[in-house]
Structure 1
Amino acid sequence: MLKRWLDSYALITLKGMAMGAADVVPGVSGGTIAFITGIYERLLLALKSFTPKALVILKREGFAACWQHVDGTFLVSLFAGVLLSIAGLSHGIVYALENYPLQVWGFFCGLILAASVYIARSLDLLHSKTLLAIGAGVLVALLVAVLRPVDVPVNSVTVFLAGAIAICAMILPGVSGSFLLLIMGMYPVIIQAVTELNLTILSLFLGGCVLGLMAFSHVLYWLLQRFRQITLGVLTGFLAGSLIIVWPWKRVVETRVDRHGEVVPVVQENVWPWVYEAASGSSSQWLEVTAMAVLGIVLVLVLEYVGGHAQKRDL
């Protein structure tokens, strides 16, 4: 029994690590990983349990009852994996994006494509409301894709608010918290804080994350309970539409100089590999990118199998 319990929560930690790895990359959502691996609704339920009722249970029945009420071991196991992954992979992700960007984006294209199909399988695709919800999600993704990064002043308030906003996106399948940080101009700030272990910025950011999680989890859980098909339809559409954000081959249309004096792209358009080669003078590396996309698809299938197997074992 103890071994089964340890194996179960070790697996949850691994799922948390997968979520953390996804959350580091702009355009990819940890919520997608949670959904694929079968822990999404348990995560929302645990997060929304942090209410005054939990304090009443703590006072009347003690710590053990309160810990069970909030599913504390599950949350600690999961977020330990998330934090370990972010701390351990932030350097590697930054290095990969700088040196192998096409392959990285190809991998996440495959991941998102397979995840979209996975979530869509649970929907009634013959119902007009579901189709409209999917269309609305795709439209929102397209609108997000054309947002331009802005320079936000880095101070206690903006870092805290960035955490609150980004974490709401991180628990939504298809919505990338890292991408929203990029739009707000806070992504390099947070990544640098992680790599340099800047506890001041990290504490403010995590404080915002906690507030955002506590507030938004109630809303999202309520939507899933009462409007499940429509909510999942919107999320599926957004997930599928986000492929436009992570498409590997882009042509820079407009640039700007950021606050560090570096030239960064502001407007980019997706192009075919051969157009990318003509515009950039660089190889499209389409074979490697395709291979990484296939790897992303395979990973989703593996995660789906692991999640389904774990759920059956727990029954």
Structure 2
Amino acid sequence: MVETIPGVSGGTMALVVGIYERLITQAGHLVGAARTLLRPGGPGRATRAAGELRRLDWGLLLPVAAGMVLAVALASQVLPGLIEAHPVGSRAVFLGMVAASVAVPLRAVGLPRGVREWALVAVACAGTYLVSGLPPAAGDGRPAYPVVAIAAAVAICALVLPGFSGSFLLLVLGLYEPTLRAVRDLDLVYIAVFGLGAVAGLATFVSLLQWLLEHHRRTLMVIMTGVLLGALRALWPWQDDVRTALAPDPGWYMMGIPVLLGAALVGGMIVLEHRSGDRAAEPVLAPDDEPTRPLPRIGPAGR
């Protein structure tokens, strides 16, 4: 369910419930099977791909997939109408969520250090600010299918990057409501294009992001801090149909309530993840009650 809420990371939820690294392993097997099938190599490709698929943990994947499909189906029936009826309040909630999400990369690596890191934050913030202020597509507002596929490919990165929300990216690009409406209305063409883009992104980006997290984690988190800050532009509660920022309404102070509610939701997720990581790092006592080496911490601050 949290994967349908902008600003709340499905990767963080996977960390909280203790299945994050298992899911990443399964994604690696899927990517390996896809690459084996697409890579030239003779008739043995199918056998090698089948070997990768046999390594999949269906006892994990099937319940997760069933839960995600059910949650997205339910959210698509509720959220589009709610956003259309209360656009200012909805954006205020999302604003609070994304603002609180800035704490995720900051908690992972601390405040930026030096001119280089502050420059990365500034560039990422400015770039995201400009992109998030672009007007939506002209005409009937239906996004072009290539844009849908590219957005889906990038949004799937939330699977391997805790703290990053795929729905948040769709919201910034103006594809959040169209995607939920497509699920609600069973727009099979849109869903198929989105699904193909997600599969392509999984095959393309998962290995790259895993490598970046391992070798350039701090730089990646610093850039993500700037991206989250710049994206707040897209969530300014008062804006028109072409995303022009407007002055607040006379009762603007009442929007502080949904902003705080959104921030509290994400803040609660961060606290849960932090406690889950602390439990994973607690030492395990051997039979003679001598403390052994602690288990590795699993969370945004460590692998």
Cα deviation, residue 167, structure 1: 3.8
Equivalent AA in structure 2 for residue 18 of structure 1: V
The answer to whether structure 1 residue 143 and structure 2 residue 127 are counterparts is: no
- In the alignment, which of 255, 268, 278 is matched to residue 244 of structure 2? 268
The structure where strand makes up a greater share of residues is: 1
- In the alignment, which of 159, 170, 188 is matched to residue 178 of structure 1? 170
* SS of 2:242 mapped into structure 1: strand
2:93 alignment counterpart: 107
Q: Which has the higher contact order (CA 8 A, sep 6+)?
A: 2
Q: 1:148-297, aligned counterparts within 5 Å?
A: 148-151=135-138, 159=145, 162-172=148-158, 173=164, 176-179=168-171, 182=174, 189-250=178-239, 252=240, 265-271=241-247, 273=248, 276-277=249-250, 283-284=251-252, 286-287=253-254, 289-297=255-263
1:38 alignment counterpart: 15
Runs of 5+ consecutive residues of structure 2 not aligned to the other structure: 37-45, 159-163, 281-294, 296-303
**Residues 78, 238 of structure 1: alpha-carbon distance in 2 compared, 3 angstrom cutoff:** farther
**Residues 246, 291 of structure 1: alpha-carbon distance in 2 compared, 3 angstrom cutoff:** same
The answer to whether structure 1 residue 51 and structure 2 residue 37 are counterparts is: no
Aligned length: 260
**Residues 76, 143 of structure 1: alpha-carbon distance in 2 compared, 3 angstrom cutoff:** farther
Q: Percent identity among equivalent residues?
A: 21
**Residues 188, 95 of structure 1: alpha-carbon distance in 2 compared, 3 angstrom cutoff:** closer
**Residues 29, 171 of structure 1: 8 Å contact kept:** no
2:2 alignment counterpart: 18
Equivalent AA in structure 2 for residue 237 of structure 1: G
d(CA) in 1 for partners of 2:182 and 2:244? 27
Q: What is the TM-score when the length of structure 1 is the normalising length?
A: 0.69
- Please tell me the root mean square deviation across aligned C-alpha atoms, in Å: 3.4
Q: What is the TM-score when the length of structure 2 is the normalising length?
A: 0.71
**Residues 129, 231 of structure 2: 8 Å contact kept:** yes
**Residues 174, 238 of structure 1: 8 Å contact kept:** no
